[in-house]
Amino acid sequence: MPKALEVTLPSDREVRVVRSFNAPRQLVWDAHTKPALIQKWMLGPPGWSMPLCEMDVREGGRYRWRWRSDEDGKEFGFFGEFKHVNAPSKLVHAEHYDPGDVGGAMDSSEPAIITSEFVEANGVTTLTVTMLFASKDIRDGAVSTGMTDGMEMGYVRLDERFKAEAA
Amino acid sequence: MQKATALDATFAALADPTRRAILARLATGEASVAELAEPFAMSQPAISKHLKVLERAGLISIGQDAQRRPRKLEIKPLEEAVDWIERYREIWAANYERLDALLEELQAKPAKRKRRKD
């Protein structure tokens, strides 16, 4: 099955998420770089939408993402700069958390560096997203606030292992 | 905020690979400090330090045997952490499931996709 979601902690400053898709690489790339497409799937928690998605996908180009709660209108987001763009195989961006009126800011001006790699084989595209934080503390902080891009899943592999072993 | 503090302690304890390996070992049954130190090529004092962190986080306790003082896994704080994480894992998984659907739709309508390209 190409769909399994894998999360690992390759070093104490990183979290890595691997996911495969039944689609050609160009399409998966488009879905990660074209705002009209991103806004259709990157919706965050249930009841949230992504009203703002600005992306200037080139080296030195900036981006800004913002989510809004349908219920109370609260917002949070991310913003930053593209560091490396090699369509359709590799995208590196620096990411700052924008707490909006949701909160959970990390005490750091240092952005996380997010590397997304797209590899296609036999019509299946595997996406590897590696998030590198300025320090272990910041990674763990990001993990425990739970607001940063789903990184908290870093421990899920561990949980699965525990579940398997405890069963 | 009691709960958040407990979660912080759990996550801080889980953030170290040796401590995760110790917990994985304990998931298979109780073990003495010497048994725990063995696979890690680590001194007993070094292992004891990790065990203290795990103990403070409530992730392990000391078993019945007074002589061996074996450590055992306490599953409850882990379960709380798992529940808490699971909410966010679902968000991530839901995003990717939506992306699956979108990719399917885009492949079904290649002409429409071309027009979207700038």
B102/A150 CB distance under 8 A: no
Contacts of A43 in chain B (CB under 8 A): 94-95, 98
Q: Who contacts A58 (Cβ-Cβ below 8 Å, separation ≥6)?
A: A82, A85
B85/A152 CB distance under 8 A: yes
Contacts of B115 in chain A (CB under 8 A): none
CA A57, distance to chain mean position in Å, is 16
Contacts of A9 in chain B (CB under 8 A): 17
> Where residue A1 falls among pLDDT bands split at 50, 70, 90?
very low
A31/B103 CB distance under 8 A: yes
Using one digit for the tens of pLDDT, what is the confidence trace for B27-70? 888 899 888 888 877 888 889 999 999 999 888 998 888 888 89
The one-character DSSP state at B43 is -
The mean predicted confidence, pLDDT, of chain A is: 79
A31/B99 CB distance under 8 A: yes
Measured CA to CA, the distance from residue A22 to residue A147 in angstroms comes to 28
Q: Are A118 and A25 in contact (CB under 8 A)?
A: yes
Q: Indicate if the pLDDT at residue A153 is higher than 50.
A: no
* β partners of residue A157: none
Q: Indicate if the pLDDT at residue A3 is higher than 70.
A: no
Q: Indicate if the pLDDT at residue B91 is higher than 80.
A: no
Q: Are B16 and B50 in contact (CB under 8 A)?
A: yes
Using one digit for the tens of pLDDT, what is the confidence trace for A87-143? 999 999 999 888 788 766 555 568 889 999 999 999 899 999 898 988 776 766 555
Contacts of A23 in chain B (CB under 8 A): 103-104, 106-107
Spatial CA neighbour of A140 closest among A40, A11, A18: A11
B95/A43 CB distance under 8 A: yes
A23 CB near a chain B CB, below 8 Å? yes
